[in-house]
Homo-oligomer: A and B are copies of this chain.
Amino acid sequence: MTRTGRRPGDSSITRSEVLEAARSTFAEFGYEGATLRRIATAAGVDVALISHYFGNKEDLFIAVHDLPINPSDVADVFDGVDDDAIGDRVARFLLGVLAADNSAAISLMRAASTNASAAAMLREFIDRTLIDPIAAMIDVPDGRERVALVASHLLGVLFARDILGVRELTSASIDELVDAIGPTIHRYLTEPTRSTTAA
């Protein structure tokens, strides 16, 4: 149907359609599994157009994962929260942002499993956006290790729920998950450790 040459009408739309198609395809199939042709088909576009816009596959991946949270957002989460509610607040914020249909987090997790540079992206994202600001706020000596445990727990829940499809988690609402996980996060962030936690 669509012939060669430029389409009539506003053409700035196509680029964002490609991005959207790439996002959901990366999220569903991971880096290697998300074929340029699959993305192109999902976007209703020829393969070559993707290369034309984004150069190569890796640059497309990077463009897609211009990540959803920035450190100051995380800092805002703590604004005026009394200590008792920190766990819930963090849990709700992260689950809300990361488990959303947006699913950039799932996409990154899938890709990170088999692609070293995606793993580095996610690792640095966790570092810069979670560990750095949260550890600075709770201000305890082993703060970074504590936040790393919190992040691990969140990653694990996303993995089990959205990648593996563990029933006990898929059937729970975000509210129920926050209710279950919040206290754990709260303890990791506030409770004294039993001994030296990590190096």
Q: In whole angstroms, how far apart are the Cα atoms of A199 and B180 in the complex?
A: 12
Interface of A is mostly: helix
On A, residues with C-beta under 8 Å from B are 29-30, 32-33, 109-110, 112-114, 119, 122-123, 126-127, 131, 144-145, 147-149, 151-157, 159-161, 163-166, 168-169, 171-172, 176-177, 179-181, 183-184, 187-188, 193-199
Given contacts A114-B110, A152-B153, contact A184 B188 (CB under 8 A): yes
- Which listed residue (B113, B123, B166, B180) contacts A151, Cβ 8 A? B166
Q: In whole angstroms, how far apart are the Cα atoms of A199 and B176 in the complex?
A: 8
B156 with A171: CB separation less than 8 A = no
Task: List the B residue with the shortest CB-CB distance to A110.
Answer: B113
Q: In whole angstroms, how far apart are the Cα atoms of A147 and B169 in the complex?
A: 11
Task: List the B residue with the shortest CB-CB distance to A198.
Answer: B172
- Which listed residue (B123, B155, B179, B195) contacts A197, Cβ 8 A? B179
Contacts of A197 in B (CB 8 A): 172, 176, 179-180
B151 with A154: CB separation less than 8 A = no
Rank and list the top 10 A-B pairs by shortest CB-CB distance, nearest first: A156-B156, A113-B113, A148-B168, A30-B114, A172-B198, A152-B156, A152-B160, A155-B156, A171-B199, A123-B164
